[in-house]
């Protein structure tokens, strides 16, 4: 899968959210890259900008600004729907596109497994390949790869900074609990 898109990014911005700084880049088609928060904002911005073929920080166009507002609300734990945000997946192969489109249909707080997503996308039996595709997701949150769990409802991997801990935090924002319930929720015998 290519690391750049044939639709060159026009600009990018770094926005502060309740979960940290998030970077967003766009082309004439839509959002083409999102970077989730990292501990070192300056290092994140350098790495992000290096992947953008010379795009410069700029003021986002109206549609991108509206998407950024939704991302900020999401980071505050508000239920938002990012499924209609325009994305630029130019240069992304058909299998990855099918996986990303299927993932975008998951609602806030809804999860599935890698195998379940593969089946929904029309590629039954390709759970591993689905995980690999999600590991290359250029627009996390917009393509909600954090909503995809391993078999048995286990958290599974996550390629964003912080790995599975970040995935769990995003799921928690959506009211999803992965794993056993906290000790405070044990059943009481009567």
Catalytic residues: 145
Distance CA 44, CA 36 (A): 9
State whether residue 148 is helix, strand or coil. Answer: strand
Half-sphere exposure of 165 (CA within 13 A, CB side): 5
Q: Decide if 134 contacts 175 (C-beta within 8 A).
A: no
Distance CA 169, CA 162 (A): 10
State whether residue 133 is helix, strand or coil. Answer: helix
Distance CA 68, CA 64 (A): 6
SS3 content of the chain, % helix, strand, coil (to 5): 35, 15, 50
């Amino acid at each position: 899968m290519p690391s750049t898109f044939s639709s060159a990014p026009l600009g990018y911005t770094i926005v502060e959210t309740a979960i940290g700084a998030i970077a967003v880049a766009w082309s004439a088609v839509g959002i083409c890259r999102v970077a989730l928060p990292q501990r070192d904002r300056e290092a994140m911005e350098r790495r992000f900008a290096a992947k953008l073929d010379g795009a410069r920080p700029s003021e986002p166009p109206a549609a991108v600004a509206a998407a950024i507002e939704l991302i900020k609300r999401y980071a505050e734990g508000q239920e938002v729907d990012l499924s209609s945000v325009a994305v630029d997946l130019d240069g992304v192969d058909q299998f990855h596109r099918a996986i990303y489109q299927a993932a975008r249909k998951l609602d806030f707080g809804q999860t599935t497994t890698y195998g379940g997503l593969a089946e929904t996308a029309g590629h039954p039996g390709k759970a591993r390949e689905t995980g690999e595709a999600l590991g290359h997701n250029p627009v996390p949150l917009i393509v909600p790869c954090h909503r995809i769990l391993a078999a048995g409802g286990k958290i599974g991997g996550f390629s964003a900074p912080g790995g599975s801990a970040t995935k769990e935090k995003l799921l928690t924002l959506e009211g999803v609990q992965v794993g056993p319930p906290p000790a405070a929720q044990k059943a009481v015998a009567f």
